[in-house]
Structure 1
Amino acid sequence: MQVDWEQRRVRLSVRELANFALGPGAGGSGYSGRGRAEIGRQWHQTLQDRAVQTQATASTEIKPEVTIQAIWSQGGWSLELQGRIDLLLREGNRETLREIKTVRRPLPEDPTALRDDYPEYFAQLAAYVALRELLDREEGITRSAELVLVDIDEGLSQTVRLMEDDLDLFHRQVQRLVDFLDARHRRRLELRELTREAPFPDWRPGQPEAREALAEAATRDALLFFQAPTGFGKTGLALDFALDALQSGRCDRVIYLTGKSTGQWQAGAQLAGMRPEGPTGFRYYQLRNQAEHDPEGRWIGHREGDVWQARWRERATAIDALLEVGTLSLTEVQGLAHQWEIPPYEISRALLPFCEVWLGDYNYVFSPRHSRVFTEQPGFDPRQTLLLVDEAHNLASRVASGWSRNLRAEDLSVLTAELQIQGASRPAIRALQNLEDWLQQLDKTERIPPEGVAELRGLLARCNESLSHTWLLADVLTPFALELLGEIEGAYQTLERATLQILEWAPQKGQLRLDCLNAAPEIAQTLKSYQQVVLMSATLEPRDLTNRGLGLPPDAGWWIEAEAPWREGAYTVAVDTRVDTRYRQRAQSYGITAESLIELTAGGPLLPVVAFFSSYAYAEAIKRELEARAPHLVVVIPPRGIPLSEMSDFLELALLNAHLLLLVLGSGLSEGIDILGGRVERAVVVGPALPEVNPVQQAKLEAAEAGQSRQEAFREVYLLPAMLKVNQALGRLVRGPHQHATVVLQGRRYADPAYQNLLAPSYRGGTVIANRQDWDAWRNDL
Structure 2
Amino acid sequence: MGGRLSMYRVAVRALCEFTAKGGDLDLRFTPAPTAQEGIAGHALVASRRPEGYETEVALEGEFGPLKVRGRADGYDPALNRLEEVKTYRGDLQRMPDNHRQLHWAQVKVYGWLLCQARNLEDIELALVYLDIGSQRETLITERAHAEVLKAFFEEQCRRFIHWAEQELVHGTSRDRMLENLGFPHAGFRQGQRQLAEAVYKAASTGCCLMAQAPTGIGKTLGTLFPLLKAMPRRALDKVFFLAAKTPGRQLALDALAQLHAAPLRVLELVARDKACEHPENACHGESCPLARGFYDRLPAARQAAAAQRWLDRDALREIALAHQVCPYYLAQEMARWSDVVVSDYNYYFDTSALLHGLTQANQWRVAVLVDEAHNLVERARRMYSAELDQWSLKALRKTAAPALKKPLERVSRAWSELNREQSEDYQAYETPPTGLLNALQGAVTAITDHLVEHPTALDVPLQDFYFEALQFGRLAEQFGPHSLFDLSKRPDRNGRSLSRLCLRNLVPAPFLAPRFSGSRSTVLFSATLTPRHYYLDLLGLAPNTPWLDVDSPFHADQLQIRVAAQVSTRYQHRDASLAPIASLMASQFAERPGNYLAFFSSHDYLRKVAEWFTRQHPQVPVWLQDRQMDEAARHAFLQRFSEGGQGIGFAVLGGAFGEGIDLPGERLIGAFIATLGLPQLNPVNEQLRQRMARLFGAGYDYAYLYPGLQKVVQAAGRVIRTPADRGVVHLIDDRFAQPEIQRLLPTWWAVGP
Does the TM-score normalized on the shorter chain lie above 0.5?
yes
Q: In the alignment, what sits opposite 2:494?
A: none
CA deviation map 1:475-500 (0-9, x unaligned): 65555544433322221222222555
Alignment partner, residue 83 of structure 1: 72
Give 3-state SS (helix, strand or coil) of 1:353's partner: coil
Residue 532 (structure 1) aligned with residue 521 (structure 2): yes
Q: Which residue of the partner structure matches residue 485 of structure 1?
A: 466
Note if 1:360 corresponds to 2:343: yes
What secondary structure is seen at the aligned counterpart in 1 of 2:506?
A: strand
Post-superposition CA distance 1:582-623 (Å, at most 9, x none) = 223313332333343344333524x31221222233223333
Whether 2:244 is the aligned partner of 1:245: answer no
Aligned position for 2:267: 285
Name the SS of the counterpart of 1:758 in structure 2. Answer: coil
Counterpart in the other structure of 1:670:
658
Q: Secondary structure at the match of 1:505?
A: strand
User: Does residue 403 of structure 2 align to residue 438 of structure 1?
Assistant: no
Structure 1 residues 467, 751: CA separation in 2 closer, same or farther (over 3 Å shift)?
Answer: same
Instruction: Write the distance in 1 (CA, Å) between the matches of 2:155 and 2:331.
Output: 26
Structure 1 contact 447–503 (Cα < 8 Å) conserved: no
* Residue range with higher mean Cα deviation, 156-165 or 262-271: 156-165
Contact 1:413–1:433 under 8 Å retained in 2 = no
Pairing 1:512–2:512 present: no
* Cα separation, partners in 2 of 1:97 and 1:462, compared to 1, 3 Å: same
CA contact (8 A) 1:682 1:742 kept: yes
Which secondary structure state, in structure 2, belongs to the residue aligned with residue 507 of structure 1? strand
Matched, 1:391 2:372: yes
How far did 1:420 drift? 4.1
Q: Partner of 2:692 in structure 1?
A: 704
In structure 2, stretches of 5+ residues that fail to align are 490-497
d(CA) in 1 for partners of 2:431, 2:728: 56
Q: Deviations over 1:131-189 (max 9, x none)?
A: 454356566x6x67687999999999997978999997654544455455444333221
1:610 pairs, out of 584, 597, 600, with: 597
Q: Is the 8 A contact 1:99 1:125 kept in 2?
A: yes
Could you list the per-position Cα deviations for residues 179-222 of structure 1 after superposition, in whole angstroms to 9, with x for gaps in the alignment?
Answer: 55444333221112215452545433333344334434554561
Quick check: 561-570 or 535-544, which moved more? 561-570
CA contact (8 A) 1:257 1:390 kept: yes
Amino acid across the alignment from 1:124: Q
Q: Say if 1:29 and 1:482, in contact at 8 Å, map to a contact too.
A: no
The one-character-per-residue Cα deviations of 1:226-272 (angstroms, maximum 9, x if unpaired) are 22211122221111111111243431111112322222221221111
Render the CA deviation track for 1:17-40: whole Å, top value 9, x for unaligned: 544469999699999721899799
**Larger CA deviation: 564-573 vs 471-480:** 471-480
Displacement of 1:388 after TM fit? 1.1
**Pairwise CA distance, 1:347:** 3.0
The one-letter amino acid paired with 1:530 is: S
1:327 to 270, 287, 311: 311
Letter of the 2:275 counterpart: H
Residue matched to 1:263: 248
Tell me, in whole angstroms, the C-alpha distance in 2 between the residues paired with 1:374 and 1:449. 35
DSSP 3-state at the match of 1:675 = coil
| Superposition deviation, residue 624 in structure 1 | 3.2
Q: How does 1:561-572 map to 2 (within 5 A)?
A: 561-572=549-560
Give me the whole-angstrom Cα distance separating, in 2, the residues matched to 1:168 and 1:37.
35
Query: Is the aligned partner of 1:713 residue 2:699?
Result: yes
Quick one: which of 137, 157, 167 aligns to 1:184?
Answer: 167
Letter of the 2:116 counterpart: L
The 5-angstrom pairing of residues 78-477 of structure 1 reads 78-84=67-73, 118-131=100-113, 133-135=115-117, 170-194=153-177, 195-216=180-201, 218-220=203-205, 222-276=207-261, 278=262, 280=263, 282-294=264-276, 297-298=279-280, 307-323=293-309, 326-328=310-312, 330-336=313-319, 338-369=321-352, 371=353, 373-377=354-358, 381=362, 384-412=365-393, 420=401, 430-443=406-419, 445-450=425-430, 453-463=433-443, 472=452, 476-477=457-458
Other structure's SS at 1:193 match:
helix
- Asked if structure 1 preserves the Cα contact closer than 8 Å seen for 2:430 and 2:484, the reply is no
Matched, 1:750 2:752: no
1:715 is paired with a residue whose SS is helix
Q: Which amino acid aligns with 1:288?
A: V
Shift, 1:766, TM fit: 0.9
Q: Which amino acid aligns with 1:439?
A: W
| Contact in 2 for aligned 1:678/1:735 (Cα 8 Å) | no
Query: C-alpha offsets along residues 429-486 of structure 1, whole Å, 9 cap, x if unaligned?
Result: 7544422332344436432444762333434454566677787387655555444333
The farther-off stretch of 129-138 and 432-441 is 129-138
1:683 aligns with 2:671: yes
What's the CA shift string for 1:38-77, capped at 9, x where partnerless?
799999999x99xx9xxxxxxxx99988876543221222
The DSSP-based 3-state class of the residue aligned with 1:447 is strand
Question: CA offsets per residue over residues 389-446 of structure 1, 9 Å max, x none?
Answer: 122222222212211111023323566788748xxxx6x8754442233234443643
Larger CA deviation: 298-307 vs 485-494: 298-307
**Structure 1 residues 605-656: Cα deviation after superposition (integer angstroms, max 9, x where no partner):** 4x31221222233223333334444444432234555556875565234435
| Counterpart AA for 1:287 | L
Structure 1 Cα separation of the partners of residues 445 and 100 of structure 2: 27
Q: Which moved more, 1:583-592 or 1:302-311?
A: 302-311
Question: What's the CA shift for 1:379?
Answer: 8.8
Q: Kindly tell me: are residues 584 and 346 of structure 1, through their superposed partners in 2, closer, same or farther at Cα, counting changes over 3 Å?
A: farther
Cα distance in 2, alignment partners of residues 588 and 488 from structure 1: 47
Moved more, 154-163 or 212-221: 154-163
Q: Secondary structure at the match of 2:351?
A: coil
Cα distance in 1 for partners of 2:337, 2:364 equals 19
Do the aligned partners of 1:286 and 1:359 also contact (CA within 8 Å) in 2?
yes
Determine the structure 1 residue equivalent to 2:492.
none
SS for the counterpart of 2:249 is: helix
Q: Distance in 2 between matches of 1:88 and 1:433?
A: 51
Structure 1 length as normaliser, TM-score?
0.80
Answer with 718-727 or 393-402: which moved more: 393-402
Aligned partners of 2:451, 2:39: CA distance in 1, in Å? 10
Q: Is the 8 A contact 1:71 1:81 kept in 2?
A: yes
1:302 Cα deviation after fit: 5.3
Distance 1:441 1:703 in 2: 27
In structure 1, stretches of 5+ residues that fail to align are 53-60, 768-782
* Alpha-carbon distance in structure 1 between the residues aligned to 2:156 and 2:407: 42
CA distance in 1, matches of 2:540, 2:550: 24
> How far off is 1:308 after superposition?
2.2
Cα RMSD after superposing both structures: 4.5
Q: How many residues align?
A: 728
Are residues 1:593 and 2:613 paired?
Answer: no
CA distance in 2: counterparts of 1:385 and 1:40, whole angstroms: 24
Report the Cα distance in structure 1 between the residues aligned to 2:327 and 2:232, rounded to whole angstroms. Answer: 30
What residue identity is the alignment partner of 1:353? R
Structure 1 contact 600–609 (Cα < 8 Å) conserved: no
Question: Matched residues in 2 for 1:39 and 1:202: separation?
Answer: 52
Query: In the alignment, is the contact (CA less than 8 A) between 2:243 and 2:344 conserved in 1?
Result: yes
TM-score by length of structure 2 reads 0.82
CA positional deviation for 1:120: 1.4
2:535 partner amino acid = T
Q: Which amino acid aligns with 1:253?
A: K
Which stretch of structure 1 is more off in the superposition, 174-183 or 669-678?
174-183
Whether contact under 8 Å (2:41, 2:132) holds in the other structure is no
- Deviation digits for residues 631-689 of structure 1, max 9, x if unmatched? 44432234555556875565234435551112222223221112345522222111122
Question: Cα distance 1:475–1:503, how it changes in 2: closer, same or farther (>3 A)?
Answer: same
Q: Give the structure 2 partner of residue 56 of structure 1.
A: none
Instruction: Give the residue type in structure 2 aligned to 1:533.
Output: T
Give the letter for the 2:721 counterpart. R
